[in-house]
Structure 1
Amino acid sequence: MRTAWRRSRADLWPLVVTVLVVALTVGVTDAVPRLLGDRADTAVRSAVTDADPAVDLVVSSRYGAGASDPTVGPEDTRIGVDDAARDIASALPPALQPVLGAPVADATSTDLTLSTPDLPTGGVLWMSYLWAGQEPAVRWLAGSAPGGPGRDGAVQLALSDDVARVLGVGAGDTFQALMTDRTVVPVLVTGVFDADDPSDLVWTARPEILEPRVVGPPDAPTTVVGGLLSAASLPAARAALEPDGVTRTFRFPVEPGALDYAGSGGLATEIAALEASPELTTVPGPGASVTSRLDLVLTQVRGRVAATWSQATVVLAGLGWGTGLVLLVGADLLARRRSAALRTLRARGASLPGIAAGAAAEAAVVVGAGAAVGLVLGQVAVPGTISWPWVAVVAVGVLAPPAFATVTAARSDARRVPTDRHHRRLAQRVRSVRRVSVEAALLVLAAAALVALRRRGVVSISGPADLALAAAPVLVAAAGALLLWRAVPVLLGGALRVARRSRKAAPLLAVARAGATGAVLPFVALVVVTTLVALCGALASTARAGQAQGSWDTVGADVVVRTTVPDAALPDVAGALAAGEGVDAVAVGRVQVRSELFDVRGVDAVRVLAVDPEPYGELLARTPFGSSPAFGVLSDAATRASTGPLPALVPEALLGTRPSLRWGNVTVELEPVGQVPALPAQQADGTPAGPTVVVDRAALAAVVQALAAARAERTGTQRFGTDPPEVDPNTVWAVGPGAAASADEAAPAVRGHVLTRAQWLTDRRDDPLAGGLLALLTLVAALCAGYATVIVVLAAAASAPGRSTSLATARVLGLRHRDTTRVAAGELLPSIVVAAAGGVLLGMVLVGALVAPLALRLVTGQSGDPGVVLPWWTVVPVGLVAAAVLVIVTVESSARRRERLGQVLRVR
């Protein structure tokens, strides 16, 4: 034990380096899976919280014909709505019950039209009974709660104060509502109320009861209001609206805090099963249905989580392989430093298993200490259950030292060398064949892994069987390192020819020493870790730049104002935006997400972009999409074409065709006059835009009007539905530093939805999955850069004894101290710089090959793969290792200054 301690103390710094490397890697590989698990849970909850429309589970059914009696009491309502809600809640699958809140039930009438003195243009009325554990709590301002049927069978109804003011009615007033078949429903207002708590969940079923809603264009608005039924008045409403005028809806809100990634797959399956078999909910009445967007949202977010996990697996696999190579270099250094002691032990009779056992015991203690420190760091960073990917790194750290020690000790055994030259050449040929075979196998494996990863994609990585895919970048780096290693002698040979022409001895000695002291293991390890630095750095920069491009792909400008329905007032909004401070360009248009296309094989639907070509072209010129002469061509063609086909910019596949476009109830013939330039590739919700046709908005309106007039003249009638479809705009784009602020002021006039590119980009970069992956890439790049420095130090320490001997001899022969320092630097720098530079180049090449299979588009939010961005700091490892060499040479030179000539001559 004492001997082992003295041996360990003599080699303390390599052991400390091993502890540090193991601790860092174990800490990262232990914490990252837990961190990703937490990010996955956060992503699931955020997706459910931010879903629009909401992902509530909605169970609905009709009452059915012949079951309504206006004279029954409130008990019938309680059985049909309140008790039914409780029964459905108890019948839900056990997996769903913890994630669903208490039901909110309503029994709501079909759309009823009404007209009052204060609302002469008419409106839409919904009569609703609400229940969420109890009827909503209200404060009566006038009158009282509705009851049974009034005089002449009038349905008793309560109105909120805001609704009553809009309609111009009060307690005791009556009005008439009309069903779609023009049946008159008399309504008696029994009371006017205010809600005790307007934020109560019960009002979310029908918010129009508290606050009227105005829909439609400004020149023809429609007011939607709601009236409150009680348990006593609902039977009368059912009887008045027979047979299918009242629908029961049971809404179960989803509790995002109760969701996690692990259970999301089962929840999606349960929701799909309920949608397919609504009878499982025991909902009463005919026409039962179950709807929810929860399964769709969960499926989408699970796809993103799976892709992020796979991307992180590739990065962690690279870190693990890099750490393993660092530990191998450290084990090799220990074996070299102890070679004399190991051979002495072997000569004294120690067995190879005994030597391996001693080295393994020491390695177990050292690596165990590093693993323990790493686990503590991991738990401090991300508390939770211990994960186990780090076991592979620990195994390498424990097994490598005894393996190198055993091989070093075995070299002291006497080996027979054939005296026959032919046999020696044959043995050398066998060794060469073995080496070439191993290298060829590695090249084939790397190529196969890279091809498989490119064909299958990172999202296919699902288990241990796919570890070869995850290790593809490291395998390619290792194969490239072997090829670079074969190039080093060629480079040194050229340098040697140049050095021979020098009159000084230092260059010649430096090149000679560089060719004699190079080792393949540190070289390969350095290439691999520098490749990982460049790869991770380039991937992180590509992702961030892709997020910025994704914001343009989705928004299309600095800010976009969209309306739910086309609005003729949007040009006024565009004018107000254009007059705003800091607004550089504004365009207004109509975006039709999907229109049918005819007479073209393979394309049956397109997105139609009806814009004013010149303003829209000027706006695009101020975006990354750039200006395009195609908009000028479209504008000229639209000006010349008074009649006939509509000029259009079409995708390349449609050039040379004569397609027809369905717009409303008319079919418009298109005349392709050019190819669509670069445009935003996504919709506002992130879905791909698909093939796009760009037309002049004024020309489209003129053509649609002409076609509608021609049809009316041909048929000789103006039947309902023959009016020309509107071509009013629904989108305003604006660019400029002040566009967002101006849009916030102008959008309320048309009840428009404002989407800013800056906010989209902020949300994407704050996304838990994307942010976690970028943080992991940055962390691994930093660790591998540090590991590159460690490899240089370990490799220099391994060759230090030979270098010290040769330089001491050179000093005895008259070489000056300054020249010996140059010789030492020239000995170390060539192979190290070649390895670092080669690794950086390999990383830059690999990032281009891996952007698509790594599915970075899911991180950037783009519809396609992002363009590769190579940051300048990917070359930092080259400067870092060169600086490390200079520091090592300076330290060794300082140590040699203290050597005495007598000591040098005695030792050597």
Structure 2
Amino acid sequence: MRVAWRRARADLWPLLVTVLVVALTVMLTDAVPRLLVARADTAVRTAVAQADPPTDLVVTSLYGPGASDPTAGAADTTGGVDDAARRIEDALPPSLRPVLGPPVASATSIDLGFSTPGLPTGGVLWMTYLWAGQEPAVRWLDGVAPGRPGPDGAVQLALSDDVARTLGVGAGGTFQVVLPDHTTVPVLVTGVFAPQDPGAAVWAARPEVLRPRVVGPRSEPTTVVGGLLSAASLPAARAALEPDGVTRRFQFPVDPGAVDYRSSEALATQVAALEASPDVLLAPGPQPTVTSRLDLLLSQARQHVAATWSQAMVVLAGLACGAVLVLLVAADLLARRRAVALRTVRARGASLAGIAGQAGAESAVVVGAGAAVGLTLGALVAPGAVTWPWVVVILVVGVLAPPATAAVTAARSEARRVPTDRHRRRLAQRVRTVRRVSVEVALLVLAVAALAALRRRGALSMSGAADLALAAAPVLVAAAGALLMWRAVPPLLGAALRFARRSRKAGPLLAVARARSTGAVLPFVALVVVTTLVALCAALAGTVRSGQADGSWDGVGADVLVRTTTPDAALQDVAGDLAAADGVDAVAVGRVQDRSQLFDVRGVDAVRVVAIDPVPYGELLARTPFGPAPALAALADASDGATTRATPGPLPALVADPLLGTEPSLRWGDVTIDLQPVGRVPALPAQRTDGSNAGPTVVVDRAALAAVVRAAVAARAAKVGSRPVGTEQAAVDPNTVWAVGPHAATAARAAAEPVGGTVLARTRWLADRRSDPLADGLLTLLVLVAAVCAGLAVVVVVLDAAASAPGRARSLATARVLGLRGRGTARVAAGELLPPTLVAALGGVLLGVLLVGGLVAPLALRLVTGQSADPSVVLSWWAVVPVGLLTATVLVVVAVESSARRRERLGQVLRVR
């Protein structure tokens, strides 16, 4: 034990380096997967919480035709709505019950026209019964709750205070509502109320019951209000509106806090199954439907998580492999420092197994200490079960490498028989060359195969420990590239030697000679690999950061976007207000229809149609990264004749590449129009507002589209002998406004308020994307791994320099005795260490940059950046930091060695060893 302790004290710093490397690598490879799982849970919950529209599970059913009884009273409502909600809740699958909150039930009428003294222009009324465990709690300001109809047969309902003031109707007031078939139903207002809790979930089902809502253009606004039915008055409303005038809706809100990543796949599957088979929920008929966006949102979130997980696994695999190489370099250094002792022990009769056993016991203690520290730190950072795959690899290599190198070093002490026959010596050399080349070729083939598999399958296919080799593809490529670069070092040193021979000074010649004799392949490969990882992480981080900025333009299309759920002519007024606002440079208004049927084109059955005014939209695009679009000017010229068309004809359009040279037809509303391709679609936002890819796009002039639609409708009406209904213009009403400018976002919020449009600012989109838990975690991991790998590169340089230090010290000491000055010895040492280091650093940076170009697509970085296509590679400035860092490390090592040599005595230098 004392001998082992003395041996460990003599080589303490390499052992401490091993402990540090093991502890740091184990901590990261153990804690990061658990942190990713926590980030994945946060990402899924955030996606559910911020979903717009919400992901609630909604069961919808009509009452259908039947013998309605207006005098049935509350018992009919209790059985048809309240009890039905309870039955559906009880029938929910067990996996969904913890995720869904209590149901909110409603029974709402169709749109009913009306006119009152306070609203003589008329509006739309929704008569609604609400229930959330009980009817909503209200405070009666005037009158009483609605009940059964009186002798006049009027449907009784209550109005909120705001609605009553808008309509100019109080308790006891009456008015008529008009059904779509122009029949009328009398309505009696029995009371005016105020809600006990305006923020209660029950009111969210129909907010119009509390506050009127104004929709439509400013020139022709439409007021939408809600009237509150009671359990006693609902049967009368149902009877008056039969058969399909009242719809029951049972809404189950999703609790984001109850959703996590592990259960998300089962939840999505269960929701999809309910949508396909709504009868399972025992919902009242006829033909109930189940709808929810939860399955789609969870699938998108899982895809995002899978992409980030795979990207992190590639980075962690690189870190683990780099640490393994550093441990091998440290084990080799330890064996070199103990070479004399090992050979002496071997000469005295010790077996190789015994030597390996002693070294293994020491390495087990050292690696065990490092692993214990790493696992402890990992548990503090992210509590949970240990993540074993890469931890086991590091522990196995850390424990087995020192005894293996010790046994090999001890075995070299045995006398080797060298054949005297030149032919046999050449044959032995040829065998060694074939073995070396075979190993290198095998590694190269493995690297190419792993990279090809990763590019073909994509990182999203990585599912567990079985794909660790796939995750290690970049490291394998770096190692294979390092071996190829190592073969280029001797020719480079040979060329340097020819130049050194021409020098009149001995320093360059000594430096090159030392570099040729002391080079080792393992430190070189380790240095290339860790440097490649630094450049790879830097390039990935720069690509993600830049891609997120590009994705904001791809997702929004301007500095701000205003969009309504349904086309609204009032958006033309919004665009006018925006154009007149300060700080707004350009505004465009248009109609974007995500899926329109397309005919007569093989392989394309649906397109996104963008109907815009070409000139304003072209001016807007010119102020965005999309750049000027001359094709829009060509579209405007081609559409001049179509804007005044009175007879049916083709509509000029800019189309995607698959549609060029074809004669497609487009279904727009209830008419089919022929398209006349006049050019290729320019660069446009390629995403829908929900972040999905929009697919092929067709761009048309909005005025020309309106004219062609009118002509087609008029021709059809003349053919069948009818008259147009006058809704042709509404078919091309806008639903989107784009604006660019420094104050466009602020102006858009004020301008969009009257129409209730959704405002999406590009800066807000970008901030949300960059604050996303997964994207932020990935960038943090990339920076952290890059920093750790840069530190490992410094460790490799120090270990390699320490391994060759004794020989360098002897040769330089001899050179000093022969007259070489102290500064000259420093230059010789720098000339010995710098060339391989610089070749490895520059080669690693180049390999990392090239790897990023090949990994952008398979790593699915578009899911992190939010783009519809793969992002362009962007190199960060700190990708080349390893070159300067390693150069500085070599200079520091040389300075330390030179300082140590100043204390050497001449007697020590001349001593015969």
- With normalisation by structure 1, the TM-score equals 0.96
* Residue from 839, 845, 851 that aligns with 2:844: 839
* Residue from 848, 854, 857 that aligns with 2:853: 848
Helix, strand or coil for the counterpart of 1:250? strand
Q: Bigger shift: 490-499 or 55-64?
A: 55-64
Q: Report the equivalent of 1:91.
A: 91
Instruction: Tell me, yes or no, if the aligned pair for 1:103 and 1:251 is still in contact at 8 Å.
Output: yes
Helix, strand or coil for the counterpart of 1:217? coil
1:761 aligns with 2:762: no
Instruction: Tell me, yes or no, if the aligned pair for 1:150 and 1:188 is still in contact at 8 Å.
Output: no
Offset at residue 547 of structure 1 (A): 0.6
Q: Report the equivalent of 2:793.
A: 788
Helix, strand or coil for the counterpart of 1:869? coil
Instruction: Tell me, yes or no, if the aligned pair for 2:507 and 2:825 is still in contact at 8 Å.
Output: yes
Offset at residue 287 of structure 1 (A): 2.3
1:70 aligns with 2:70: yes
Q: How does 1:406-485 map to 2 (within 5 A)?
A: 406-485=407-486
Instruction: Tell me, yes or no, if the aligned pair for 1:704 and 1:725 is still in contact at 8 Å.
Output: no
Offset at residue 562 of structure 1 (A): 1.9
Instruction: Tell me, yes or no, if the aligned pair for 2:706 and 2:728 is still in contact at 8 Å.
Output: no
Instruction: Tell me, yes or no, if the aligned pair for 1:57 and 1:254 is still in contact at 8 Å.
Output: yes
Q: Report the equivalent of 1:379.
A: 379
Letter in 1 for 2:7: R
Offset at residue 720 of structure 1 (A): 3.4
Q: 1:681 to 1:73 in 2, by over 3 A?
A: closer
Helix, strand or coil for the counterpart of 1:899? coil
Offset at residue 480 of structure 1 (A): 0.3
Q: 1:751 to 1:272 in 2, by over 3 A?
A: closer
* Residue from 892, 900, 906 that aligns with 1:895: 900
Offset at residue 713 of structure 1 (A): 5.3
Q: Report the equivalent of 1:507.
A: 508
Instruction: Tell me, yes or no, if the aligned pair for 2:709 and 2:728 is still in contact at 8 Å.
Output: no
1:697 aligns with 2:697: no
Q: Bigger shift: 127-136 or 325-334?
A: 127-136
Q: How does 1:290-309 map to 2 (within 5 A)?
A: 290-309=290-309
Q: Report the equivalent of 1:544.
A: 545
Deviations 1:451-480 (A, max 9, x none): 111111000111222222111100000000
Q: 1:856 to 1:240 in 2, by over 3 A?
A: same
Q: Report the equivalent of 2:333.
A: 333
Q: 1:267 to 1:572 in 2, by over 3 A?
A: closer
Letter in 2 for 1:757: R
Deviations 1:340-395 (A, max 9, x none): 11112212222222221211121121112211222222223223333223222122
Helix, strand or coil for the counterpart of 1:99? coil
- With normalisation by structure 2, the TM-score equals 0.96
- CA distance in 2 between partners of 1:498 and 1:332 (Å): 33
1:82 aligns with 2:87: no
Instruction: Tell me, yes or no, if the aligned pair for 2:654 and 2:698 is still in contact at 8 Å.
Output: yes
- CA distance in 2 between partners of 1:727 and 1:84 (Å): 41
Deviations 1:241-280 (A, max 9, x none): 3344333322111111011111111112222222222232
Q: Report the equivalent of 2:524.
A: 523
- CA distance in 2 between partners of 1:663 and 1:94 (Å): 44
- CA distance in 2 between partners of 1:459 and 1:656 (Å): 37
Offset at residue 513 of structure 1 (A): 0.6
Q: Bigger shift: 874-883 or 106-115?
A: 106-115
Letter in 2 for 1:623: T
Structure 1: segments with no counterpart, 5+ residues:
none
CA RMSD of superposed structures (Å): 2.1
Q: Report the equivalent of 2:591.
A: 590
Instruction: Tell me, yes or no, if the aligned pair for 2:801 and 2:833 is still in contact at 8 Å.
Output: yes
- CA distance in 1 between partners of 2:597 and 2:275 (Å): 30
Instruction: Tell me, yes or no, if the aligned pair for 2:706 and 2:729 is still in contact at 8 Å.
Output: no
Offset at residue 165 of structure 1 (A): 2.0
Q: How does 1:318-717 map to 2 (within 5 A)?
A: 318-388=318-388, 389-639=390-640, 643=645, 645-712=650-717, 717=722
Offset at residue 410 of structure 1 (A): 1.5
Q: How does 1:764-783 map to 2 (within 5 A)?
A: 764-783=769-788
Q: 1:825 to 1:397 in 2, by over 3 A?
A: same
Q: 1:855 to 1:516 in 2, by over 3 A?
A: same
Q: Bigger shift: 239-248 or 749-758?
A: 239-248
Q: 1:252 to 1:698 in 2, by over 3 A?
A: closer
Q: Report the equivalent of 2:123.
A: 123
Offset at residue 71 of structure 1 (A): 3.4
- CA distance in 2 between partners of 1:269 and 1:614 (Å): 47
Helix, strand or coil for the counterpart of 2:152? helix
Instruction: Tell me, yes or no, if the aligned pair for 1:664 and 1:725 is still in contact at 8 Å.
Output: no
Q: Bigger shift: 49-58 or 321-330?
A: 49-58
Instruction: Tell me, yes or no, if the aligned pair for 2:217 and 2:571 is still in contact at 8 Å.
Output: no
Letter in 2 for 1:841: L
- CA distance in 1 between partners of 2:830 and 2:430 (Å): 35
Letter in 2 for 1:538: A
Letter in 2 for 1:479: A
Q: Report the equivalent of 1:875.
A: 880
Q: Bigger shift: 170-179 or 851-860?
A: 170-179
Tell me how many residue pairs correspond in the alignment: 908
Instruction: Tell me, yes or no, if the aligned pair for 1:218 and 1:567 is still in contact at 8 Å.
Output: no
Offset at residue 709 of structure 1 (A): 4.5
Letter in 2 for 1:756: A
- CA distance in 2 between partners of 1:146 and 1:252 (Å): 27
Offset at residue 584 of structure 1 (A): 2.3
Instruction: Tell me, yes or no, if the aligned pair for 1:356 and 1:402 is still in contact at 8 Å.
Output: yes
Offset at residue 183 of structure 1 (A): 4.4
Offset at residue 666 of structure 1 (A): 4.0
Q: Bigger shift: 654-663 or 845-854?
A: 654-663
- CA distance in 2 between partners of 1:606 and 1:96 (Å): 36
Offset at residue 312 of structure 1 (A): 1.0
Instruction: Tell me, yes or no, if the aligned pair for 1:216 and 1:565 is still in contact at 8 Å.
Output: no
Q: Report the equivalent of 1:103.
A: 103
1:268 aligns with 2:265: no
Structure 2: segments with no counterpart, 5+ residues:
none
- CA distance in 1 between partners of 2:303 and 2:190 (Å): 53
Offset at residue 621 of structure 1 (A): 1.5
Instruction: Tell me, yes or no, if the aligned pair for 1:663 and 1:725 is still in contact at 8 Å.
Output: no
- CA distance in 2 between partners of 1:318 and 1:467 (Å): 10
Helix, strand or coil for the counterpart of 1:58? strand
Q: Bigger shift: 872-881 or 389-398?
A: 389-398
Instruction: Tell me, yes or no, if the aligned pair for 2:578 and 2:748 is still in contact at 8 Å.
Output: yes
Q: Bigger shift: 784-793 or 361-370?
A: 361-370
- CA distance in 1 between partners of 2:599 and 2:260 (Å): 46
- CA distance in 2 between partners of 1:371 and 1:353 (Å): 25
- CA distance in 1 between partners of 2:893 and 2:747 (Å): 60
Offset at residue 707 of structure 1 (A): 4.3
Q: 1:722 to 1:562 in 2, by over 3 A?
A: closer
Instruction: Tell me, yes or no, if the aligned pair for 1:112 and 1:126 is still in contact at 8 Å.
Output: yes
- CA distance in 2 between partners of 1:431 and 1:321 (Å): 26
Q: Bigger shift: 11-20 or 123-132?
A: 123-132
Q: 1:96 to 1:331 in 2, by over 3 A?
A: same
Instruction: Tell me, yes or no, if the aligned pair for 1:585 and 1:619 is still in contact at 8 Å.
Output: yes
Instruction: Tell me, yes or no, if the aligned pair for 1:708 and 1:722 is still in contact at 8 Å.
Output: no
Helix, strand or coil for the counterpart of 2:732? coil
Instruction: Tell me, yes or no, if the aligned pair for 1:557 and 1:734 is still in contact at 8 Å.
Output: yes
- CA distance in 2 between partners of 1:376 and 1:822 (Å): 45
Q: Bigger shift: 62-71 or 473-482?
A: 62-71
Helix, strand or coil for the counterpart of 2:225? strand
Q: 1:466 to 1:81 in 2, by over 3 A?
A: same
- CA distance in 2 between partners of 1:571 and 1:72 (Å): 49
Offset at residue 715 of structure 1 (A): 5.4
Offset at residue 41 of structure 1 (A): 0.3
Letter in 1 for 2:413: S
Q: Bigger shift: 282-291 or 299-308?
A: 282-291
